[in-house]
Structure 1
Amino acid sequence: MRRAAPDPEIEARRRGEVPAETDPRIEALVHDIIGKVADKWTLLILEALEEHGTLRFTQLGRAVGRISQKMLTQTVRQMERDGLVRRTVHPVIPPHVDYALTPLGKSLGAAFCGVWLWAETHHAEIERARQAFADAGRSEVAPASAETGGS
């Protein structure tokens, strides 16, 4: 994902004090949004639109890669419903439909850019941890009865 400029308002709030109580409406919204955007298709569509700008449906599908037409339709509709994507229908024959990120969608892309930067910063540590885990798994080959406590 292309690096985006951080949102100054969010950065200012991030540096501020953590509130003593969480608004249950905000907590519910965060859980809802994470559930929707944390799937790979939403993030890949977000990335494709951020990198390529406005795309037609078929172009978007190609940019995302290996996504079914049904899943692409469902995902862009959900993103449109949440205000992340703008769908523009041009009254021509055959119909021409464009998809573009809204300012809200762009700001979400900037937020996920932080995850990208985190991964970029810590990728070597993650690879070492994965290798250590794999190595430990190979050396811990134990009989099934010992693990389950069975005889």
Structure 2
Amino acid sequence: MENNVLLDNHITVEECSGHLSSVEDAIYVIGGKWKLKIIIVLQESGNIRFNELQRKISGISARVLSNELKDLELNGFVKRVVHAEQTPVIVEYISTDYSKTLKPVIMALSDWGKNHKNNIREDVFS
């Protein structure tokens, strides 16, 4: 039974394949150059308008920001709030409670990135 072979005494090939599929799904949803940056800014800022969000994310174009916000909204990470009772109409974006479940992932990635940068520096300069 090939699927029951243990890879490192902890996980089978079948379980590894399932984990790999889950990681691919996660990367598909939050991967890319901008999505995590947008999520982080929204979590730090609370309600924020489009132009202010664009100013806080250096280098992102309005078109790319708009497309990324649509993707994030479809996946439940961002909520678009329209205040139609005001003139002019105000549109704000806020992070959802669901997006806040990414905080441990973001912190783990941050820690890993710091360690990786230090490892690279040690290898280059030693």
TM-score, normalised to structure 1's length? 0.65
Partner of 1:40, secondary structure, is coil
Residue number in structure 1 paired with 2:30: 37
For 1:88 and 1:25, how far apart are their aligned partners in 2? 36
RMSD of the TM alignment (CA)?
2.7
The alignment-based identity, stated in percent, is 29
Q: Distance in 1 between matches of 2:90 and 2:12?
A: 47
Aligned residues: 116
Q: 2:114 aligns with which of 120, 127, 139?
A: 120
8 Å Cα contact 1:46-1:109 kept in structure 2: no
Q: Which amino acid counterpart does residue 53 of structure 1 have in structure 2?
A: G
Conserved? CA contact 1:54–1:99, under 8 Å: yes
Structure 1 residues 99 and 111 mapped into 2: Cα distance closer, same or farther (>3 Å)?
Answer: same
Q: Residues 87 and 123 from structure 1, CA distance in 2 versus in 1: closer, same or farther, beyond 3 angstroms?
A: same
Query: Greater relative contact order (Cα 8 A, min sep 6): structure 1 or 2?
Result: 1
Give the TM-score normalised by structure 2: 0.76
Structure number with greater Rg is 1
For structure 2, the 5+ residue unaligned runs are 1-9
Moved over 3 A (4+): 17-22, 24-30
CA–CA separation in structure 2 for the residues paired with 1:64 and 1:80: 18
Deviates more, 1:101-110 or 1:81-90: 101-110
Deviation at residue 126 of structure 1 after TM alignment: 2.0
Distance, in Å, in 2 between the alignment partners of 1:18 and 1:25 is 11
